Amino acid sequence: MIHRSASPHAGRHFAAWALGSAAALFAVSASLAAGKFERVIDVPAALHVPEDHVMVFAAIVMDGVQTYRCTPEHKYVLLGPTAMLRGRKGQYATHYFGPSWQFQDGSVIVGKVVAKEPRANTIDQLLLQVSQHSGPDGLLSQVDFVQRLATVGGMAPSQCDPTRSPVLAVPYSAIYQFWAPKT
């Protein structure tokens, strides 16, 4: 049985965050055309992509969880994410264990974490390098870096009871940015 984590104030905090994140995503999309992206979201230096890359897609997590398994040592270990991502123009992608992403055109990427930036009381911000492409030629076919930014939630409790909560799904949200080499 999978348990879904929630606090008494989770809905109120998530709604406030979602409104702010939607505004941030709108600002990100508008700023892309103006070439001012770095000024909209503070991207830590460790998570910057190479200068010879361009962002091809930015999306917010509309519904996502980080799934954990409780070990016999009473500690949660990450199994992986499951999330629906939505872009400003209505595009969508799914994000799942791997970590993998599949865009609406069927193109798929798998990433490997190359840098982390911790944030207080939430999952880390990440820079991932794509290690595998599959599916048809599509939007993600040329992507070779993914950033996970502006993370909220997704952290498992520090201890667990494997008999009561063997698997736990913790809601989270973030902004994902997908980068490909300039052509």
Residue 47 lies in a domain: no
**Residue written as token pair 């791997």:** 98
Residue whose C-alpha is closest to residue 47's, from 120, 99, 106, 118? 118
Residue 132 lies in a domain: yes
Q: What is the model's pLDDT at position 31?
A: 44
Residue 109 lies in a domain: yes
Residue whose C-alpha is closest to residue 117's, from 142, 147, 138? 147
Residue 45 lies in a domain: no
Domain that holds residue 78: 2-40+52-181
Q: What is the model's pLDDT at position 165?
A: 87
Q: What is the model's pLDDT at position 183?
A: 86
Q: What is the model's pLDDT at position 90?
A: 93
Residue 32 lies in a domain: yes
Residue 19 lies in a domain: yes
Per-residue pLDDT tens digits of the chain, which is 183 residues long: 455 554 444 444 444 444 444 454 445 444 444 343 443 578 999 999 999 999 999 999 999 999 999 999 999 999 999 999 999 999 999 999 999 999 999 999 999 999 999 999 999 999 999 999 999 999 999 999 999 999 999 999 999 999 998 999 999 999 999 999 998
Q: What is the model's pLDDT at position 99?
A: 96
What is the number of domains present in the chain? 1
The alpha carbon of residue 66 and the mean position of all alpha carbons in its chain are separated, in whole angstroms, by 10
Q: What is the model's pLDDT at position 18?
A: 47
